[in-house]
Structures are given as structure tokens and as C-alpha cells.
Amino acid sequence: MKHQKSSYQAFQEEFRLNFDWAARFDATITRILKEHLDLMISVKASVPIKDRRRACDFEIKVSGTDVSFRARRNIGYRDLTIRAMSGGERTELEKIKGGFVDWFFYLWAGEGDKRMADWMLVDVGQLRRSGLLLKDRRLIPNKDGRTGFVAIPRGELCENDCVATEKFQEDRKARLAKQCKWGEHVWEDRPKAGRVGVWCSVCDKFYGNKR
């Protein structure tokens, strides 16, 4: 007789699989964070009294050092999800409300879940100040029955200046409305009606079938 996994074991296994999958983005996230360190560090000229007393000409301050990270698979939603139910453990929402974490790097994978498609860097300090964390939001349960989360729409984050920087791919409809200039095309072969067609992978224009 086969030994059945407990719900907790299944939860642990799924957590590990998701953790290992998300780790593939670590190097890319590290590079992006380094490119945007100016958002976290301020440099200003010192006041004369500090210069006289401490030989201080410039002051450098780091606005927070802890970064939280979440990767989501290729889905249509573009919102910030924060764990609000955690099987009796202290939740991520409680920790963030309590003053932990300074930045939240949030990404969505693209087709096939292998590469990063969209991302945003959220200023968690501003998120706390905005009051968005205090709004009464619907708890969305996960399928494990032990955990759940609340979702803050990207629009709300942007309206309240919580998004420090972001990068989102162009909407496909907007991209198709563009026309490539000759010499800027990226040729791509695709099957079409039993034949191989030539397309531009930038503007999506069809240029005919291969002979």
C-alpha cells in the first residue's frame, strides 16, 4: 500500500519547486537592482558646520537595504500579491506592516515561464505611508487551503507613487500597430497553412511563404 502524502508534505514540496523555479531569476534581479541603486541612495552636499567640525563635504544615505522578491508565472494579472494567511505563522503582510522590508522586487515570467517578461520595484516605505496596506481587501485562498493572499492592483500602486521603477513589455496590440523600418526587421520563420512563412518578430508583419 502506497504511503499517501500529508497536505503539509504536499505544501512543502510545492513550495520547494516554486522556490527553485524562482531562483533562476536571481542573477537578472541582482543586475537590475545594481542598475537602480540611485533610487536607494541619496547624495547631497553637507552643511558648513559639518564641514568645519567633521571635514564632511558630502552626505550619503541609504534609504533601506532589505529587498523582498516574488516571481509569478505567465499570467494575465498585473498586481502586487502579499501573503495574508500562512497556516498560523506570522504573515508577510504583518511583517511588512510592522516595518520590515524596504523594497519589493516583483516580476512576471513570459511565455514558457523561463524568462522575465515584466517587473516593478515597489518602494515599501511609500506603500506603508500611502495607507494601501490598511484597506480592507478580499483574502484570496491558495489551493493548499493553508495560505492566502491579498492583491493590490498596479494602478493603485502607481497612483500612490509606490512604484519606484518598472519595465513592462508593450501590449501586443500596440506593437502590431507599429511598422518596422526597412533594415530593422528581425526575420522569423513560422508554420502557416502547411508551409513555412516569413514574419517580422518585431512588428509581426507577414512577408510571404518560403519557396
Q: Over the stretch 161-186, which tens digit does the pLDDT of each residue have?
A: 999 999 887 554 454 455 566 556 66
Compare 12 and 52 and report the one with higher pLDDT: 12
| CB contact at 8 A, 163 and 121 | yes
Q: How much is the average pLDDT of 133-157?
A: 89
With contact defined as beta carbons under 8 Å apart, do 46 and 58 qualify?
yes
Determine the pLDDT at residue 98: 94
Higher per-residue confidence, 183 vs 89: 89
Give the per-residue pLDDT at 175. Answer: 47
Mean pLDDT computed over every residue of the chain: 79
Amino acid letter, residue 194: G
Residue with the larger pLDDT of the pair 10 and 86: 86
In this structure, the chain runs to a length of: 211
Q: What is the 3-state secondary structure of 158-186?
A: HHCCCEEEEECCCCHHHHHHCCCCCCCCC
The three cell numbers of residue 115 are 524568462
Contact assessment for residue 83 and residue 148, using Cβ atoms and an 8 Å cutoff: yes
CB–CB of 147/85 below 8 Å? Answer: yes
pTM confidence score: 0.68
pLDDT at 52 exceeding the cut of 60: yes
Lowest mean pLDDT among 13-17, 33-37, 202-206: 202-206
